[in-house]
Structure 1
Amino acid sequence: MTPVGTELSDRVLGGWLGRIAGNMLGKPVEQGDHWTRDRIDRYLRRTAALPLTDYLPGPADSDQGEGDEFALRPEWRQCVRGRIHGSCRDDDVDYAILGLDLLETHGFGFSTEQVGDLWLLRLPYLQTFTAERAAYRNLANGIKPLLTATYDNPYQEWIGALIRADIYGWTCPGMPRRAASLARRDAVLSHTGNGVYGAMWAAALVSAAFTATTVRQALDTALTVIPASSRLARTVRRVLTLHETRMTWEDTLSTVSEETSGLGWIHTIPNAAVLTAGLLYGDGDFTRTITLTVRGGLDTDSNGATAGSVAGVLCGAGAVPAQWKDPLEDTVRSAVFGFDGVRISELAARTVALAEAGAGTAAVPS
């Protein structure tokens, strides 16, 4: 069990480090329709990396031929153990940075329209994907929110809004409803239904991790900010129940995978199940949490990032094991204009300043 942190600054830095490390861990196998849970574990056995306690090992040369079943994503050379020098650029980190810039620019009273304006100003179109790209295109064509989320956008309940939510939890420590309200205002630019609920849930989960004594307590708190009848809430509760019965992690994921089949590997619902299972069976241990989450498959880098954020907030940066944080070299690559090469410690310090300023403001409108 990783010790629970105490200092706000250390825990916010832990959240940033955890998000980036979890993202980097999952990035080489981010292709859920190919890198299934079974294939990930077979790769780890092939490379003598089970139990997984560090970044993924690099492949044997024979594993990277065209069509090879163990071929990693093209970015693997910057994301495997022994070859990491600072973080790779990735949208799972770009949106956390963009959210920080949003709050610094417009404060906690920002509007959905201002989120869209900042995307157009700071974020390259080709670094957006699925629902975010559809919303970006709609914005560029003069369509206003909330139509940006619904016009010609088949990805409305996919995971994109969830990966944008951590900054609202970090800046609202111990205020999960406020964090969820901010995340909702951001999410509706590009998502609807469970896509929005996923963002609200994730923001509340990160916020609750600052004051919860256990992962389960944080998960229970996060469920209170979304409709109990939503499929997201029902799926998360299903994982909680299976865990309570002492079902194994593998059997829990197999059971929920069958129940959510057909939704696709980037949909919010099955990914929330993988994330919930990783947090529960990780049981507060940073390394076990992010490695189980990534081994769960689907959108591995996004799930690893959110699991790392929650685990990092729970334990604080000082307790994040060195093998995860040292290779990051306190440096972030980013496509967000003006932020490439920024220090992780600087991002954390700016986040703490917002959290401290926000603590003295009135509750924001939903």
Structure 2
Amino acid sequence: MTGTAHKTPPAQLSDRILGGWLGRIAGNMLGKPVERGDYWTRARIDAYLRRTDALPLTGYLPPPPADAAPGEFTLRPEWRECVRGRVHGSCRDDDVDYAILGLHLLETHGFGFTTEQVGQVWLERLPYLQTFTAERVAYRNLVDGIGPPRTASHDNPYQEWIGALIRADVFGWTCPGDPDAAAALARRDAALSHRGNGVHGAVWAAATIAAAFTADGPRAALEAGLGRVPPDSRLARTVRHTIALHDSGTDWAGTLDEMERRTAGQGWIHVVPNAAVLTAGLLYGAGDFTRTIALTVRGGLDTDSNGATAGSVAGVLCGASALPPQWTEPLADRVRSAVFGFDGTSVTELARRTARLAAARTGEDRAGEDRAGGEDRAG
């Protein structure tokens, strides 16, 4: 599937890349107030939605009920920027920062970037206190003079958590229709901070997003992503079992009940249980943007990260022009970011620059094919 981006007309490609950006930001904003999987269980999230008359969930979360008892619903401190009626541009979050940082990485170093260059970009553009878990460990290792791949393994108990997966979107957006290329880029990026299933999660996400540009729905995109990770890995087995439950006719809640039992003990930020929630949201969302991000966030665990990735896949599948306005208009085409030089950038501008990279990469592929064809003819 290498070099297939040219099969999508430029205007449609740009619309779908913008859909990915908007979807990621909207899904992140939806999940942010309830991001704490040990407290915001599926049951508590739905209890909140029932108390605020927000089921079915068709927009950003409502503010907490005025008559809530103390401690009944403890939202993240950022909730005031993320609930209905208060959203005006995105709030700052690492799930969006890393997409921006990845864009800067590709603009600065091209598609041949090295893992060492990923680390250098972090040191130059990302504040240390805006990193968490595996990324913070890798950052500290870099400062201490430890280079990759040891940055991912030295004193790092988080190397299979979800951090690398949330960095993967830009590699899918810039390799539309080419999951192999997206997977290779995501693997190189993830190696700075993750190993094992942590890397597999990033590869799977990037390949799924790349495949969404040409797939006929979320199931086909997920299968394409799954084909780029080791089939015997815990991540692959988890995704496959979630798909099998969906195919068997098990409902969304029953699927998540079963997957919660199967992934028990791995923690709410580990990539494996979150992959199950994300897979279920995409499958049962069935290509509908609102239903996809709503089910994914209602699935609990790392709600803002899962909502962001589900929104990215669904946004690519739908395209920006088809996204419901209750998600996009409050964003006001503006993103907050801790990445140096990017705070206040318009989402449209980020998408334009991403599309330019995708087009440039396709041109490089075409040139390589032309050269190879010429050599074949010459021979």
What TM bracket, shorter-length normalisation?
A: over 0.9
Partner of 1:99: 102
* Cα pair 1:64 1:71 within 8 Å, conserved: no
Partners of 2:77 and 2:234 in 1: how far apart?
Answer: 34
Q: 5+ unaligned residues in a row in structure 2: which ranges?
A: 1-8, 369-379
AA matched with 1:36: T
**What per-residue deviation string (whole Å, max 9, x for no partner) do you get for residues 318-355 of structure 1?**
00000000000000000000000000000000000000
Q: SS at the partner of 2:137?
A: helix
In the alignment, does 2:57 pair up with 1:28?
no
**What per-residue deviation string (whole Å, max 9, x for no partner) do you get for residues 22-80 of structure 1?**
00000000000000000000000000000000000000244484xx1311110000000
Give the superposition deviation at 1:362. 4.5
**What per-residue deviation string (whole Å, max 9, x for no partner) do you get for residues 124-170 of structure 1?**
00000000000000001110100000000000000000000000000
Partner of 2:216: 213
Partners of 2:131 and 2:98 in 1: how far apart?
Answer: 10
When normalised by structure 1's length, the TM-score is 0.96
In the alignment, does 2:298 pair up with 1:299?
no
In the alignment, does 2:204 pair up with 1:201?
yes
Q: SS at the partner of 1:252?
A: helix
* Cα pair 1:103 1:110 within 8 Å, conserved: yes
How do 1:226-237 and structure 2 match up within 5 A? 226-237=229-240
Larger radius of gyration: 2
Aligned residues: 359
When normalised by structure 2's length, the TM-score is 0.93
Partner of 2:341: 338
* Cα pair 1:210 1:313 within 8 Å, conserved: yes
**What per-residue deviation string (whole Å, max 9, x for no partner) do you get for residues 215-265 of structure 1?**
111111111100011110000000000001110100000000000000000
* Cα pair 2:282 2:310 within 8 Å, conserved: yes
Partners of 2:229 and 2:347 in 1: how far apart?
Answer: 31
The percentage of aligned residue pairs carrying the same residue is 71
Partner of 2:257: 254
**What per-residue deviation string (whole Å, max 9, x for no partner) do you get for residues 302-331 of structure 1?**
000000000000010000000000000000
Q: SS at the partner of 1:235?
A: helix
AA matched with 1:155: Y
Q: SS at the partner of 1:359?
A: helix
* Cα pair 2:49 2:55 within 8 Å, conserved: yes
Partners of 2:187 and 2:223 in 1: how far apart?
Answer: 19
* Cα pair 1:157 1:191 within 8 Å, conserved: yes
RMSD: 1.4
AA matched with 1:21: A
Give the superposition deviation at 1:209. 0.2
Q: 1:128 aligns with which of 103, 107, 131?
A: 131
Q: SS at the partner of 2:287?
A: coil
* Cα pair 1:64 1:72 within 8 Å, conserved: no
Partners of 1:74 and 1:285 in 2: how far apart?
Answer: 30
AA matched with 1:356: A
Residues 64 and 351 (structure 1), Cα distance of their counterparts in 2 relative to 1, 3 Å cut: farther
Give the superposition deviation at 1:361. 2.2
* Cα pair 1:36 1:298 within 8 Å, conserved: yes
Residues 7 and 362 (structure 1), Cα distance of their counterparts in 2 relative to 1, 3 Å cut: closer
Partners of 1:361 and 1:159 in 2: how far apart?
Answer: 32
In the alignment, does 2:305 pair up with 1:314?
no
Partners of 2:150 and 2:67 in 1: how far apart?
Answer: 48
Partners of 2:363 and 2:349 in 1: how far apart?
Answer: 22
Partner of 2:3: none
* Cα pair 2:174 2:358 within 8 Å, conserved: yes
Q: SS at the partner of 2:164?
A: helix
Q: 1:81 aligns with which of 84, 88, 110?
A: 84
Partner of 2:56: 51
Partner of 2:47: 42
AA matched with 1:347: L
In the alignment, does 2:332 pair up with 1:329?
yes
